[in-house]
Structure 1
Amino acid sequence: MAPTKDATRAVLGIALVAVLLVAAALWLGRDAESGGRTVLRLRIWDQSFVSAYRASLDEFERANPDVEVRITLVPWASYQQKLRLDVAGGVADDLFWTNLYEDYADSGHLMDIGATLGPQAAEGWDPQAVRQYTRDGKLWAVPQFVDGGTAVYVNLDLLGQAGVDPAELAAARWSPDPEQDTFRPLLRRLATVSAWPYNAANDFQSITLPYLGSAGGQLQRDGRFDFDSPQGREAFGYTVGLVTDRLSPSAADTSSASADFAKNAFLQGRMALFQSGTFNLAAIAKQAGFRWRVAMIPAGPAGRVSANNAIGVAGNAASAHPEAVRRVLAWLGSAAGNRYLGTAGATIPAVVSDQQVYRDYWTAHGIDVSPFFDVLRGNEIAAGGGPGFPAALQAILPILDEMYLGRLPVPDALARAQREGNAALTQQ
């Protein structure tokens, strides 16, 4: 028998009420599995940090039984684009990792950390990280960890086969003047025992910034790109020359879209020197089947210069639970909450008092990580930022790829990359 119109309306009415109740529960961050607790979501891009964050947040939840924090993992390859879309659509997680935050801060999408946690909250955090996340006098993220400086992972077995003393590497200097350059001759000796002595490439953090800085150049000036300079041409001319001379892998293998090629070549024993950061330390310690150590990067005309990037966690200003978000931010920025990121040697905590935990871990495993810290005792090069920076970097990197492939001369490539990068900034 067909249902009456009244019965149909009743069924539809019940269904509508059910939908509204589910929607309300989701909006409130509560569901049957949470036991009535407020549910927050923390978005990150690295699977290797899930266990450390889970341990930290479990401790937080024991002290705050009314709040549950769930971790959302979005892979790095799609993270920035998805975050932009989700923030614009009002569906971003309550808390999320960020390293390029300026657009979100300027558009009012982030919590003001000073107003949220109080003006004294930043006193225990890495000063560089605080500077990185400060804009217009306000702090927009709680620093979570810092990369430290750039160093060189050294295959000691290959050095020994080539008759290169580690002390020679420690004293190595790169220079556009062949009479002063001691690094390239050293690489030529290593080329006799390894497929690739070194990893010069379009690697923004590990190669571009250290060489540009050690040449005496800079990435930006007054918010505009400024790498098309005499110092920039010296730095890029040197690293491109290493690829041309086959002292580093082909740019077809190490383009900006192929980040792991050099690391894998090092782990396979095919590369003698791998210049990189602390973010590769755990993988190398676990997988390297040869004797290795960490050494200082080669000095340039302006000495040894490195960037020191930090990752922060931001509070979503549109979160339905600002008070719960405040408590989580305070926990993740505390010594007790932040130390979990350093206990397994995964990264350098941004809370200064916790950084010794990281050093102690690696010391106990027989690895001296001091080069990552010592390189920062001198000058540092800013890693860049500002409104529109992600889009500008996307415009620049493919041009530098063409330069490393030998399809564009260094001066032409730098002029074009700087012009298009600044044009992208202007469009914001």
Structure 2
Amino acid sequence: MIRIDLKRICSVAVIAMLATPALGEPVTIAVWMHEHPPRLALDEKLVAAFEQANPDINVDLTIFPNAQFEQRLQIGFASGDGPDLFNSGSFNIGQYRHSRLLAPVDLKTVGVDDLNELKAKFGIGIAGAEFDGVAYGLPTEVSNYACVANNALWRTAGLNPAKDAPATWEEMVEVARKLTRRDDGNVPVVRGFDFNWSDPIFMWLTFNAMVNQLGGTVIDEAALTADFDSVQVRTVMDFWSAWANDWALGGPQYTASRDAFLAGELATECTFGSWGRDQFKAAGIDYTFFPVPRWREGTVDTGFNAYAYYMMVNANAPPERQEAAWRFAAFYASQGEALFEEAGLFTTVPAVQELESYTSDGSNTIFTDELDKAVFSPRVPGFNELGDALARARDRIVINHEDASAALGELEAEASTILGRF
């Protein structure tokens, strides 16, 4: 049953109402969000509570299926029929900002005096929407990854994640070997660990992060330049290639890592967030979280990249709708406790970490400790094209066994061409 503290929600809505007195006819704002089934009932209640406390604003909320959402946004913006307020990810924010579609956060309407106060109110999740000291969104979900062990599969191999979890990528090789079970043809039937080869987005969130750990940076956000042909990139690519070819511990030919973990065919997976708990429970998996490994000779203490979803305002909307949109955005993003307890979405609103439902699970500290060290994947225009190019280069090296130096050199040239369009 959905449990929502309407008294608390309405009190925040009243504060939003008092910030701007109601004048004239109500303003209607179009709000577009992607579908997240556990959140939908909460969305309806939040809209109702806000409208009740803010009779000068009508919220026209439209929910789109995930697979269609970004395309519908792009079509809407191109036709001039886009929303006043929309909820999109840090992956896309660089493109929207470059296209001048994003209005800076209206600090006065949100109820703060400066960026520091904004960060104090909404936490470090603001970082993914901040450029040159200006914030362009308010976080409604902030996520990062940890590794998760299937305790039963670890026990079968004589291992205990509480004491045997690898701290380095070099140790991960040895642990994965012990966890891997093979058939008579030496083919893994249970993999000890594998990377998430399934979608180019994971080349940013995981591969790029491993480059970051070595002190490398594949994209300079400010200069819009690429550096894919570096020692750090080559080191990570060689490791991924050896994982699939030399050590035969996994690869893109196998069931995708998340699906394999839930099916009991993978002992360790490292691209689940705290939101994965319900899926583990449904699959009957007894699990243990532990931090993402680092390189033994790494120079930066960071796990996999962070990502977030933000309420962002269309810079082309009329001023009165922009102001109303920021009022609703501030109200919605302030509901971190309800988002966590009712929809399973973590935000960095400070009150969330004081909830009993948060503090009662000790593994939550793994995610927050890692989040403090995490960086966001490069927020640049052409983000998806660049990810596709990186995944193609990976497959040329790992699957086709092409020369890595040549493939990475061509990747850098392709990336420079993509970035050169902006």
Q: What is the TM-score with the length of structure 1 in the denominator? A: 0.77
CA distance in 1, matches of 2:191, 2:65: 30
CA distance in 1, matches of 2:31, 2:164: 43
Amino acid corresponding to residue 305 of structure 1 in structure 2: T
Counterpart contact for 1:294–1:369, Cα < 8 Å = no
CA distance in 2, matches of 1:81, 1:402: 29
CA distance in 2, matches of 1:356, 1:412: 52
CA distance in 1, matches of 2:172, 2:101: 47
Q: What residue number does 1:305 align with?
A: 302
Q: What residue number does 1:316 align with?
A: 314
Say which of 30, 35, 58 aligns to 1:68. Answer: 58
> Equivalences for 1:18-167 in 2 at 5 Å?
38-48=27-37, 49-98=39-88, 99=90, 100-114=92-106, 117=110, 119-120=113-114, 122-126=118-122, 128-148=124-144, 150-167=145-162
Q: What residue number does 1:296 align with?
A: 291
**Counterpart check, 1:331 vs 2:320:** no
Counterpart contact for 2:217–2:227, Cα < 8 Å = yes
> Equivalences for 1:232-311 in 2 at 5 Å?
232-244=233-245, 245-248=247-250, 250-253=251-254, 261-278=256-273, 280-300=275-295, 301-302=297-298, 304-306=301-303, 307-311=305-309
Q: What residue number does 1:19 align with?
A: none
CA distance in 1, matches of 2:128, 2:372: 18
Relative contact order (alpha carbons < 8 A, sep ≥ 6): 1 or 2 greater? Answer: 2
Let me know the Cα RMSD of the aligned residues: 2.8
1:111 match: secondary structure: coil
Shift of 1:319: 3.0
How many residues align structurally?
Answer: 373
1:318 match: secondary structure: coil
Counterpart contact for 1:125–1:351, Cα < 8 Å = yes
1:154 match: secondary structure: strand
1:312 match: secondary structure: strand
Aligned residues: percent identity? Answer: 21
Gaps of 5+ in 2: 1-24, 183-188
Gaps of 5+ in 1: 1-35, 175-180, 255-260
2:252 match: secondary structure: coil
Change (3 A) 1:290 1:243: same
Amino acid corresponding to residue 122 of structure 1 in structure 2: L
CA distance in 2, matches of 1:285, 1:262: 14
CA distance in 2, matches of 1:327, 1:377: 28
Shift of 1:348: 1.4
Shift of 1:124: 2.7
Change (3 A) 1:74 1:414: farther
Shift of 1:127: 5.1
Listed one character per residue, the Cα deviations across residues 190-229 of structure 1 (whole Å, up to 9, x for unaligned) are: 0027522212144235421332222332232343222431
1:348 match: secondary structure: coil
Q: What residue number does 1:219 align with?
A: 218
